């Protein structure tokens, strides 16, 4: 039943919100994903490391940052598999797995995917993973984790 058919309620005017995302100061991160690389930043003044990357240091307030590639083997810290999709992710079609994995001093978020195409499997906390980059069906670049165990 549509809202206009319910009793005691009317439907509002349509209101579409689409935002511009300013990425100029962290563009290397987004370019990196297209080249299969994942970057964090490190403050040249105090050494603080940031993932996701940021252009300014939250600790010493310097803006003298360098890009650091995040690579190697990661460890799953936490994960979930979503069965209820938010608006904008209907394309997923089936439950998707979001995880946070640590790579040395850096942690990154990603979608965990199974080795076998089309198969959905769950990771475990503590599982060793590698990180790859790729585009989803909507063209957004992101990180994908795969088990290396």
Partner 1 sequence: MGMGSETRVGIIGVGCTKFGVRDDATIQEIAFEAVREALQDAGVTREDIQLSVVGTAGTRSYELMPAVPINEYCGFAGKGPIRVEAACATGSAAVYTAYTSIRAGIADLAVAIGFEKMNEVDTPTSLAVGGRSGSYLWEFHQYGTTFPGYYAMLAAAHMARYGTTDKQMAMVAVKNHRNAAKNPKAQFRKEITLEKAVGSRYVAYPLRLFDCSPISDGAAAAVLASEEKIKELGIDNVVWIEGVGYSSDTANMPKRADYAGLKASVEASQMAYRMAGIDDPLKQIDVAALHDCFTIAEIMAYEDLGFCRKGEGGKFIEEGESDFGGKLPVNTFGGLKAKGHPLGATGVAMIYEIVKQLREEAGDLQAELKNYKGLTHNIGGTGHFGWVYILGV
Q: Which residues bind Zn ion (CB under 5 A)?
A: 43, 45-46, 48, 57, 59-60, 62
Measured between alpha carbons, how far apart are the two ends of the chain, in Å?
A: 48
Residue 1 interacting with partner 1 (CB under 8 A): no
**Torsions phi, psi for 32 (to 5 deg):** -55, -45
Q: How many residues bind partner 1 (CB under 8 A)?
A: 44
Of 54 and 133, the one with the shorter C-beta distance to Zn ion is 54
Residue 96 interacting with partner 1 (CB under 8 A): yes
Residue 147 interacting with partner 1 (CB under 8 A): no
Q: Are 97 and 113 in contact (CB under 8 A)?
A: yes
Q: How far apart are CA 35 and CA 30, in angstroms?
A: 9
Of 83, 93, 116, 137, which lies in the binding site for partner 1, with binding defined by CB under 8 A?
83
Site for partner 1 in 6-65 (CB under 8 A): 6, 8-9, 12, 15, 21, 23, 50-52
Interaction partner, residue 43 (Zn ion, partner 1, none; CB < 5-8 Å by kind): Zn ion
Interaction partner, residue 48 (Zn ion, partner 1, none; CB < 5-8 Å by kind): Zn ion
Q: How far apart are CA 45 and CA 64, in angstroms?
A: 7
> Is 23 exposed, middle or buried (CB count within 10 Å of its CB: 0-12, 13-18, 19+)?
exposed
**Residue with tokens 């995880």, as numbered in its chain:** 99
Residue 108 interacting with partner 1 (CB under 8 A): yes
CA dihedral 92, 31, 143, 36 (to 10 degrees): 120
Nearest approach, Cβ of 63 to Zn ion (angstroms)?
Answer: 9
CA dihedral 135, 141, 142, 147 (to 10 degrees): 30
Residue 145 interacting with partner 1 (CB under 8 A): no
Of 59, 62, 77, 148, which lies in the binding site for partner 1, with binding defined by CB under 8 A?
77
């Amino acid at each position: 039943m549509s809202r206009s058919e319910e009793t005691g309620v009317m439907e509002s005017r349509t209101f579409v919100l689409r935002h511009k995302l300013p990425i100029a100061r962290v563009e290397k991160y987004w370019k990196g994903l297209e080249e299969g690389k994942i970057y964090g930043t490190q403050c040249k003044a105090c050494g603080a490391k940031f993932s996701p990357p940021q252009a300014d240091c939250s600790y010493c307030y310097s803006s003298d940052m360098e890009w650091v590639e995040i690579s190697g083997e990661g460890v799953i810290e936490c994960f979930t598999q979503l069965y209820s999709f938010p608006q904008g992710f209907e394309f997923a079609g089936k439950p998707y797995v979001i995880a946070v994995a640590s790579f040395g001093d850096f942690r990154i978020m990603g979608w965990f995917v199974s080795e076998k195409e089309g198969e959905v499997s769950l990771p475990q906390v503590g599982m060793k993973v590698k990180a790859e980059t790729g585009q989803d069906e909507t063209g957004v670049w992101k990180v994908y984790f795969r088990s290396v165990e």
